[in-house]
């Protein structure tokens, strides 16, 4: 079980994530949503250990991850928001780098890499540098890299970015399959209709604070909204989107 307890992050005294708490258990897929700049990626980076929290802690299977960060990081798979990969490595070489950094032995690693490259339709381009890849191809490489070591906890930050419809559907099934096999999955995204289909519960973030943490069914009932999109608009209350759209049209023509 992953427990996030009072997680806060301040940059130069300004809190970008404040007192965020939630938990998710084995076999569960938790949606993590919020407007741009709400603090989703900052939370994710604190969970995986890229950023040190200003306050609060992350616990995994009852222990603070600080106590054994090495062990914790060895068990997570992470797909970052931005597909940042060394551009001069080929897709295959990047997967080799990731697998070896995780200490996977050569025989197992090479076989897995070949399988992933074929399953994600990257086999023909396996020797092309990543700089020549499309955004979707890079995303497939990142997904493969996150799954190579069979992680217990999968943290996906906008995993569908750039993916074609078929691959997005494949990924959805993979995520559901992993959850069915007892893996814990934190799914951070803007694509609300996918979250609605995949996640059992969602955490909504606005201006660094949790504004909702419940099952989608309960949220529907409490907000009297039929869709997650409607719930999102009602709870985050960032902007009146219609008014903003009108204003943009005025600016374009003015």
Which residues of this chain interact with other proteins, rule CB under 8 A? 9-13, 48-52, 54, 66-70, 73-74, 78, 80, 82, 84-90, 93, 96-106, 109, 127-129, 131-132, 145
The gap from C-alpha 216 to its chain's centroid, in whole angstroms, comes to: 18
**Scanning the structure block, which residue is given the tokens 């060394």?**
86
CB closer to other proteins, 86 vs 222? 86
Closest separation between CB of residue 229 and other proteins, Å? 30
CB closer to other proteins, 72 vs 232? 72
Closest separation between CB of residue 252 and other proteins, Å? 17
Structure tokens at 9: 């992050």
The stretches of the chain forming alpha helices (DSSP H) are 40-48, 69-74, 91-101, 106-119, 135-147, 165-180, 192-198, 216-223, 228-236, 241-253
Instruction: Give dist(CA 60, CA 68) in Å, integer.
Output: 10
CB closer to other proteins, 75 vs 220? 75
Closest separation between CB of residue 48 and other proteins, Å? 6
Closest separation between CB of residue 203 and other proteins, Å? 22
Closest separation between CB of residue 232 and other proteins, Å? 28
CB closer to other proteins, 48 vs 202? 48
Instruction: Give dist(CA 133, CA 205) in Å, integer.
Output: 33
CB closer to other proteins, 104 vs 175? 104
Instruction: Give dist(CA 237, CA 83) in Å, integer.
Output: 30
């Amino acid at each position: 079980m992953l427990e996030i307890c009072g997680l806060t992050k301040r940059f130069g005294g300004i809190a970008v994530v404040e007192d965020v708490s939630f938990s998710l258990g084995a076999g569960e897929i938790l949606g993590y949503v919020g407007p741009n700049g709400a603090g989703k990626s900052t939370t994710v980076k604190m969970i995986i250990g890229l950023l040190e929290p200003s306050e609060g802690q992350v616990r995994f299977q009852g222990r603070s991850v600080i106590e054994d960060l090495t062990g914790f990081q060895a068990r997570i798979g992470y797909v970052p928001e931005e597909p940042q990969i060394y551009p001069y490595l080929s897709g295959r070489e990047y997967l080799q780098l990731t697998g070896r950094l995780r200490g996977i032995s050569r025989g197992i690693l090479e076989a897995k890499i070949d399988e992933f490259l074929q399953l994600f339709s990257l086999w023909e381009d396996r020797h092309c540098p990543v700089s020549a890849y499309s955004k979707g191809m890079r995303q497939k490489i990142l997904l493969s890299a996150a799954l190579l070591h069979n992680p217990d906890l999968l943290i996906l930050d906008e995993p569908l970015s750039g993916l074609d419809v078929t691959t997005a559907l494949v990924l959805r099934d993979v995520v559901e399959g992993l959850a069915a096999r007892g893996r814990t999955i934190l799914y951070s995204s803007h694509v609300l209709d996918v979250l609605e289909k995949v996640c059992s519960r969602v955490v909504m973030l606005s201006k660094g604070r949790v504004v909702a943490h419940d099952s989608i069914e309960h949220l529907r009932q409490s907000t009297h909204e039929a869709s997650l999109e409607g719930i999102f608009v009602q709870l985050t209350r960032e902007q009146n989107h219609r008014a903003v759209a009108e204003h943009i049209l005025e600016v374009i023509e003015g």
